[in-house]
């Protein structure tokens, strides 16, 4: 969040954006299976180009949600500088993922964001991106095109944005390298960025570095820049994040160039999910026959030693499960609502096996468990109780 432009009247426009973020942060249960929410509390020393060095306190909430075909990332930053001036910035990015074809996949995203700083002008941007991506075991290649509008202040016309970039990814065990080159046009401003990002992990410490150069620029500055950030988890909820470096201006989002160093404590708002069932795996359709469509088993710990099994199943009059935890005797589940069947059973920690059947049919593997070949010409589902 750099203090760029941002007019004061824009503050009321930022409110809905932050409100949506706050709503998402406050409703983890809606998407908790694949969601993460954090808030960073930190301090920075920053010198924006053309400004004096200043310290600032920062609060940065983020929210991420991932679905099978879509994702969402919302982020906001509130800064209070030693001068007493305040800066607010927020952005929301949504993705849609097309069905992959072999190694190829098409992704589209839409980004909306804005910022305001004291009584200076504000920035707003609305961008869309189309990306074709190929992933392999050792790396990948992304080609992206971005278009949209960016607005500087309330009294100016929106400026058109167009950008294109190519990114190559190399993965080497615990290290990921990304090489990217792109050209952007923002109104009369145009520039190219060529750079490399490296991300690695040593035990729990994650380090990410960026080195890049801005070249062939008209109105966006030139030169080499770079940033580094590291994070170290302290426990399940808290981690330390440090970062610093120099970044260039970003005419698309209204950021001015600057140098900074910051340290923050990151608090994970989202409670770790209590569901212990994985997403359904791809079904092999081997000997045991395909599972009934739309079955999904989830397990929720109850009182110590007990687990609630919840099975989503097609309309039926009888749903049974059997496993090592039942001494391989069928037990019936109770229907709590349309298609939802439940039972609470004592299950010890460890790896367990399970089969299910509907209306006395063949024993099959419920979705949401790992299918393994059984010893009796069929398949069994396995799951773990931590």
> According to CB under 8 A, which residues from 294 to 313 bind another protein?
none
Candidates 120, 162, 179, 247; binder of another protein (CB under 8 A) is 247
171 forms part of the interface with another protein (CB under 8 A): yes
141 forms part of the interface with another protein (CB under 8 A): no
Candidates 12, 50, 99, 303; binder of another protein (CB under 8 A) is 99
Beta strands of 187-295 (E only): which ranges? Answer: 189-202, 205-218, 223-233, 238-247, 258-268
DSSP H helical segments within the chain, as ranges? 11-26, 28-31
Q: How far apart are the first and last CA of the chain?
A: 40
263 forms part of the interface with another protein (CB under 8 A): yes
320 forms part of the interface with another protein (CB under 8 A): no
DSSP, res 306: E
Closest CA to 369 of 274, 295, 301: 295
Candidates 21, 111, 115, 295; binder of another protein (CB under 8 A) is 111
175 forms part of the interface with another protein (CB under 8 A): yes
Structure-token match 């190929």, residue found:
134
Phi and psi torsions of 33, nearest 5°: -65, -30
Q: Give the Cα separation of 274 and 29 in Å (integer).
A: 11
Candidates 7, 313, 322, 365; binder of another protein (CB under 8 A) is 322
Q: Give the Cα separation of 301 and 344 in Å (integer).
A: 9
208 forms part of the interface with another protein (CB under 8 A): yes
236 forms part of the interface with another protein (CB under 8 A): yes
Q: Give the Cα separation of 168 and 172 in Å (integer).
A: 13
Q: Which CB, 191 or 260, lies closer to another protein?
A: 260
Give the interface segment with another protein, choosing from 18-26, 223-231, 294-302, 303-311 (CB under 8 A): 223-231
SS3 149: strand
SS3 293: coil
Encoded tokens for 292: 């009934």
Q: Total residues contacting another protein (rule CB under 8 A)?
A: 106
Please state the closest distance from residue 155 (CB atom) to another protein, in A. Answer: 26
Candidates 31, 121, 144, 313; binder of another protein (CB under 8 A) is 144
Candidates 12, 119, 157, 282; binder of another protein (CB under 8 A) is 282
281 forms part of the interface with another protein (CB under 8 A): yes
Candidates 146, 150, 189, 295; binder of another protein (CB under 8 A) is 146
Q: Which CB, 216 or 328, lies closer to another protein?
A: 328
Under a CB-based contact definition with an 8 Å cutoff, are residues 192 and 216 in contact?
Answer: yes
Under a CB-based contact definition with an 8 Å cutoff, are residues 315 and 339 in contact?
Answer: yes
Candidates 119, 188, 327, 338; binder of another protein (CB under 8 A) is 327
Under a CB-based contact definition with an 8 Å cutoff, are residues 117 and 48 in contact?
Answer: no
DSSP, res 250: B
Please state the closest distance from residue 319 (CB atom) to another protein, in A. Answer: 16
Encoded tokens for 211: 């080195």
112 forms part of the interface with another protein (CB under 8 A): no
147 forms part of the interface with another protein (CB under 8 A): no
Q: Give the Cα separation of 135 and 228 in Å (integer).
A: 26
Site map (CB under 8 A) of another protein, residues 4-33, x = contact: ------------------------------
Give the interface segment with another protein, choosing from 19-27, 152-160, 253-261, 331-339 (CB under 8 A): 253-261
- The number of residues in the chain equals 386
Please state the closest distance from residue 93 (CB atom) to another protein, in A. Answer: 6
Q: Give the Cα separation of 33 and 272 in Å (integer).
A: 9
Q: Cβ neighbours of residue 156 under 8 Å, at least 6 residues apart?
A: none
Touching another protein, residues 36-65 (CB under 8 A) = 40, 42, 44, 46, 56, 58, 60
Q: Give the Cα separation of 355 and 371 in Å (integer).
A: 10
Touching another protein, residues 354-373 (CB under 8 A) = 363, 370-373
Give the interface segment with another protein, choosing from 20-28, 183-191, 245-253, 293-301 (CB under 8 A): 245-253
**Is the Cα dihedral 61, 266, 236, 70 positive or negative?**
positive
229 forms part of the interface with another protein (CB under 8 A): yes
Touching another protein, residues 76-95 (CB under 8 A) = 77, 79, 91, 93, 95
């Amino acid at each position: 969040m750099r203090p760029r432009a941002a007019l004061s009247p824009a503050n009321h426009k930022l409110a809905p954006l932050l409100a949506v973020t706050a709503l998402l942060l406050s409703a983890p249960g809606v998407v908790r299976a694949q969601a993460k929410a954090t808030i960073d509390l930190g301090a920075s020393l920053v010198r924006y180009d053309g400004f004096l060095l200043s310290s600032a306190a920062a609060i940065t909430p983020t929210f991420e949600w991932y679905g099978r075909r879509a994702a969402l990332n919302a982020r906001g930053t509130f800064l209070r500088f030693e001068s007493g001036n305040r800066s607010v910035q927020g952005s929301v990015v949504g993705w849609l993922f097309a069905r992959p074809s072999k190694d190829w996949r098409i992704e589209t995203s839409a980004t909306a964001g804005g910022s305001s700083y004291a009584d200076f002008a504000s920035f707003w941007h609305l961008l869309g991106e189309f990306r074709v991506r190929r992933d392999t075991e050792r790396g990948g290649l992304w080609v992206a095109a971005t278009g949209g509008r960016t607005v500087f202040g309330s009294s100016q016309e929106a400026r058109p944005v167009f950008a294109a970039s190519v990114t190559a990814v190399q993965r080497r065990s615990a290290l990921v390298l990304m090489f990217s080159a792109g050209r952007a046009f923002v109104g009369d401003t145009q520039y190219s960025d060529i750079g490399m990002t490296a991300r690695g992990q040593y035990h729990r410490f994650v380090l990410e570095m960026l080195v890049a150069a801005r070249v062939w620029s008209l109105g966006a500055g030139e030169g080499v820049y770079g940033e580094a950030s590291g994070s170290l988890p302290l426990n399940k909820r808290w981690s330390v994040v440090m970062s610093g470096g120099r970044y260039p201006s970003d005419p698309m989002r209204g950021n001015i160039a600057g140098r900074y160093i910051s340290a923050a404590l990151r608090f994970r708002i989202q409670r770790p999910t209590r569901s212990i069932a994985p997403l359904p795996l791809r079904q092999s359709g081997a000997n045991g026959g395909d599972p009934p469509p739309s079955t999904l088993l989830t397990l929720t710990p109850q009182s110590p030693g007990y687990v609630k099994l919840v099975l989503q199943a097609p309309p039926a009059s009888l749903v049974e499960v059997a496993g090592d935890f039942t001494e391989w005797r069928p037990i019936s589940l109770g229907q709590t609502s349309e298609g939802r069947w439940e039972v609470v059973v004592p299950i010890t920690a460890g790896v367990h096996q399970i089969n299910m059947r509907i209306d006395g049919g063949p024993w099959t593997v419920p979705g949401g468990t790992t299918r393994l070949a059984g010893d009796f010409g069929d398949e069994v589902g396995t799951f773990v109780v931590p």
